């Protein structure tokens, strides 16, 4: 037996970018948030926090941040990706429509309560529950990460503690018109993977990739732990990772378990990277969700970290090319990004060598340091 009402809600859910001034009751907000907290989360840590903003001045200030983000980079980025009709609708929302909603829900993550690397996989299922619950109640809602471009200002506006970071904003209110059903979406047919770039051979199961000198594979948490913990104890290697602190053996073990769980949950992640000739684990290369930088979400990031003894041999570039091919050819991604701290020029050089271009320079919302975001689009087949 199927629950027809559920499928009715799913097909009606769509972004609302124009709201009436009619208030939303506390009971409706409570029901929406209760639905959000029923979502799954990594290790069941439930790192979500929701700030309900009704104050007109704060709502207006949040709306202004959204408008500024749109005008600073959102419009230019979207002009190359959206139809004219969709672009006009998004612009109306970003420049005033969303700000008119009687309630703004600032969706946040407590990065002490959950691992930073799993924030997106924990928070966005909760957001989806929230959006569906709003639709079930007849409310309009939308998801935007534009506002988090000005993360520090948003933190100050709503008074977030140090360990809580804003991830998205969801306006909530009543539609100004009868809600339209979401348009039908074509289902992309399954297809055989396109040939990988020359020099990269993938196994039939997408869990192992080989290049001329490297093997990229799934993690064996017990067998890989000592080598990975040694990597995480290198102060120079950790200099540009997060706040630059090294990891303990126990913290390294927890991170490895998280890496492997990500593979299970998403069918992609960071590959354990070893030398083909010796079998030595030298670090990792692979794909992740860059939820530490909400302004570029949703996206997939390519990243790497190798032990110091293996710097300067071209392994990062070789592994990164293989991971890019995996993302485009096996995962069917349209775009991949990469982020490095200003000062970490070797990583920036690798990004340029694999064909990425500078997308923007911005501020890491947790560390306050300047970072550069590089990007590359799927190669066009000829």
- Find the CATH number of the domain harbouring 118: 3.40.109.10
* Residues 150-159: tens digit of each pLDDT: 888 999 998 9
pLDDT at 225: 92
Q: Residue 309 carries which DSSP code?
A: G
Tokens 């408008």 correspond to what residue? 67
Q: Are residues 272 and 223 in the same domain?
A: yes
Calculated CA dihedral for residues 315, 317, 323, 325, nearest 10 degrees: -130
The reply to whether 22 and 168 lie within a common domain is yes
Same domain, 264 and 147: no
Whether residues 167 and 225 fall in one domain: no
pLDDT for residue 379 = 79
Same domain? For 362 and 285 the reply is yes
2 vs 312 pLDDT, higher one: 312
**Average pLDDT, stretch 92-101?**
89
The helix (run of H) or strand (run of E) holding residue 363 is strand 357-363
pLDDT in tens, 307-327: 888 999 999 999 999 999 998
Q: How confident is the model at residue 133 (pLDDT cuts 50, 70, 90)?
A: very high
- 212 and 166 inside one domain: no
Q: How far, in Å, CA of 127 to CA of 123, rounded?
A: 6
Instruction: Classify 302 as helix, strand or coil.
Output: strand
pLDDT in the model for residue 7: 87
Q: Specify the number of domains making up the chain.
A: 2
Across 82-86, 119-123, 239-243, least confident range: 239-243
- For 218, the domain range is 201-377
- The rounded Cα 291 to chain-centroid distance in angstroms is 4
Give the mean pLDDT of the chain: 84
Residue 92: the pLDDT is 87
Cα–Cα distance, 78 to 73 (Å, whole number): 9
Task: State pTM to two decimals.
Answer: 0.53
pLDDT tier at 103 (50, 70, 90 boundaries)? very high
Q: Are residues 110 and 259 in the same domain?
A: no
Domain membership of residue 189 (yes or no) is: no
User: Helix (H, G, I), strand (E, B), or coil: what is residue 166?
Assistant: strand
Strands (E), 8-58: 48-53
pLDDT at 180: 45
- For residue 261, the number of C-alpha atoms closer than 13 Å in the C-beta half-sphere is 15
Mean of pLDDT values over 198-216: 66
Q: Are residues 218 and 265 in the same domain?
A: yes
Cis before 115? omega within 30: no
For residues 46 and 128, state if they share a domain: yes
Whole-number percent of the chain with pLDDT over 70: 89
At 132, list the tokens. 């569906």
| 3-class DSSP string for 179-215 | CCCCCCCCCCCCCCCCCCCCCCEECCCCCEEECCCEE
> Among 302, 312, 284, 325, which Cα is nearest to 374's?
302
Same domain for 232 and 324, yes or no, is yes
Give the CA count within 13 Å in the CB-facing half-sphere of 92: 10
Domain assignment present for residue 147? The answer is: yes
- Is the residue at 372 inside a domain? yes
pLDDT of residue 189: 37
Residues 92 and 218 in one domain: no
The confidence score (pLDDT) of residue 243 equals: 66
pLDDT for 199: 38
What average pLDDT does range 39-45 have in this prediction? 87
52-60 long-range contacts, Cβ below 8 Å, gap at least 24?
52/103, 52/105, 53/103, 53/104, 53/105, 53/106, 53/158, 54/102, 54/103, 58/104, 58/157, 58/158, 59/99, 59/101, 59/102, 59/103, 59/104, 60/99
Q: Spell out a b/e string for 79-117, using b for 16 or more CB atoms within 10 Å of the CB, else e.
A: eeeeeeeeeebbbebbbebbbbbbbbbbbbbbbebbbbb
Nearest to 327 by CA among 267, 241, 380, 281: 267
Which of these, 349, 348, 347, 326, lies nearest to 336 by C-alpha position?
326
Residue 69 falls inside a structural domain: yes
| Domain final position from 124, 158, 173 | 173
Structural domain includes residue 181: no
Q: In what order do the strands lie in the sheet with 48-53?
A: 48-53, 103-110, 164-173, 140-141
**Which carries the bigger pLDDT value, residue 200 or residue 56?**
56
My answer on whether 160 and 210 are in the same domain is no
Q: What is the pLDDT of residues 333-360, one digit of tens each?
A: 889 999 998 988 999 999 999 999 999 9
Residue 187 has pLDDT above 70, yes or no: no
Whose tokens are 């000592």? That residue is 226
Range 163-182 average pLDDT: 78
Structure tokens at 137: 């109640």
Residue 245: band (very low, low, confident or very high) from pLDDT cuts 50, 70, 90: confident
């Amino acid at each position: 037996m199927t629950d027809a009402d559920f499928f009715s809600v799913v097909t009606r859910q769509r972004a609302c970018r124009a709201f009436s001034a009619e208030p939303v009751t506390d009971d409706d907000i409570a029901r929406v948030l209760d639905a959000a907290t029923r979502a799954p989360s990594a290790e069941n840590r439930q790192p979500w926090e929701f700030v309900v903003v009704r104050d007109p001045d704060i709502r207006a200030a949040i709306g202004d941040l959204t408008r500024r983000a749109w005008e600073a980079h959102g419009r230019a980025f979207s002009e190359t990706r959206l139809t004219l009709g969709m672009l006009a609708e998004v612009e109306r929302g970003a420049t005033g429509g969303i700000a008119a909603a009687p309630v703004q829900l600032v969706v946040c993550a407590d990065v002490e309560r959950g691992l930073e690397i799993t924030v997106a996989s924990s928070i966005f299922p909760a957001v989806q529950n929230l959006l569906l619950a709003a639709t079930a109640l007849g409310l309009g809602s939308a998801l935007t990460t534009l506002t988090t471009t000005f993360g520090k200002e948003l933190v100050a506006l709503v008074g977030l503690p140090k360990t809580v970071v804003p991830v998205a904003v969801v306006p909530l209110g009543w539609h100004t018109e009868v809600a339209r059903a979401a348009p039908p979406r074509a289902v992309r047919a399954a297809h055989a993977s396109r040939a990988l770039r020359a020099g990269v051979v993938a196994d039939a199961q997408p869990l192992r990739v080989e290049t001329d000198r490297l093997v990229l594979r799934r993690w064996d948490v017990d067998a890989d732990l000592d080598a990975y913990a040694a990597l995480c104890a290198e102060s120079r290697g950790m200099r540009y990772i997060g706040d630059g602190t090294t990891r303990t053996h126990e913290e390294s073990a927890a991170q490895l378990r998280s890496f492997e769980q990500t593979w299970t949950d998403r069918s992609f992640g960071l590959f354990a990277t070893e030398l083909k000739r010796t079998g030595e684990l030298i670090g990792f290369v692979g794909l992740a969700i860059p939820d530490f930088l909400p302004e570029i979400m949703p996206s997939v990031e390519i990243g790497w970290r190798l032990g110091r003894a293996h710097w300067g041999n071209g392994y990062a570039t070789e592994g990164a090319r293989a991971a890019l091919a995996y993302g485009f050819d096996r995962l069917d991604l349209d775009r991949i990004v990469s982020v490095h701290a200003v000062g970490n020029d070797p990583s920036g050089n690798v990004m340029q060598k694999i064909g990425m271009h500078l997308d923007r320079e911005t501020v890491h919302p947790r560390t306050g340091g300047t970072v550069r975001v590089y990007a590359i689009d799927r190669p066009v087949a000829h």
